Amino acid sequence: IPAKFLINTKDSIATPLKLILRKSLDEGKIPDLFKLAYVTPIHKGGSKLKPEQYRPVSLTSHVMKIFERVVKRNIMKHLIEQNLLNPGQHGFVPGRSTKTQLLQHYCDIFETLSEGTRIDTIFLDFAKAFDKVDHDILLQKVAKHKIKGKIGFWLKEFLNNRKYRVVANGEMSDVQDVLSGVPQGTVLAAVLFIIMISDVDENFKSSIVRLFADDTRISRKITSEEDKVLLQKDLNVIYDWAKQKSHEI
């Protein structure tokens, strides 16, 4: 259903749409059509013969996106009120941005330098982080963040049995299964990812982590050889976390 149709008919369809989506939440069921994505490969530059030179752009159900915004708003409210967000996460969090991540990182540096101390920072990036999210692990994280009941069951249904079709050059592929990843093109993808990565520094010794989604910076004051060893141990923690969660750095 085109977005323009929903906008132009909102007064007529608001009530029946509300009833349908409310029933979806109450029963923990989502129509298969609402979980189908149409993926168009967009050329990024370079050789057109190399698949990695294309960025997949997904078009998902506009009706589903309406309800996703409601669910996302409630999830974010819960995470903020219960203080369940990683304090170093600046991606997709209200009131935070790449600028706040940079400012916090600069503060870490200036504070250390003002003490006459050295600080080391390691920059990391997870390869195809959003695409490699394991659904079972993600649902465990959702439960760990106390997102249970109807929304918890609904999120499980939202992730399960998703499908996609590739659209290119006027042709459309057969339907394929989505086996992993937060659903690209959906409203909930971002908040699900920050839930997934929220415990990346859970076993740190004392290093500081600053995140923007999967863009990761680890910093530590270096005043002795022991500090270098501890920084390396925290780096190993992240590599172990990535391996356990089927991610690559």
Tell me, what's the pLDDT at 3? 85
Contacts of 98 (CB under 8 A, 6+ apart): 90, 212
The tally of CA atoms less than 13 A away on the side-chain side of residue 107 is 9
C-alpha distances in Å from residue 139, one per residue of 69, 70, 146, 192, 240: 19, 19, 11, 9, 20
Tell me, what's the pLDDT at 53? 92
For 151, the enclosing helix (H) or strand (E) is helix 149-159
Which of the 8 DSSP states describes residue 207? -
Question: pTM of the entire structure?
Answer: 0.94
Say how far apart CA 95 and CA 206 lie, in whole Å. Answer: 26
Q: Residue with structure tokens 């977005």?
A: 3
Q: Where are the domains of the chain?
A: 3-244
Q: What is the pLDDT along the chain (249 residues), one digit of tens a residue?
A: 788 888 899 999 999 999 999 999 999 999 999 999 999 999 999 999 998 899 999 999 999 999 999 999 999 999 999 999 999 999 999 999 999 999 999 999 999 999 999 999 999 999 999 999 999 999 999 999 999 999 999 999 999 999 999 999 999 999 999 999 999 999 999 999 999 999 999 999 889 999 999 999 999 999 999 999 999 999 999 999 999 999 999
- Residue 193 token pair: 């990812």
- Residue 117 token pair: 């101390």
Tell me, what's the pLDDT at 1? 78
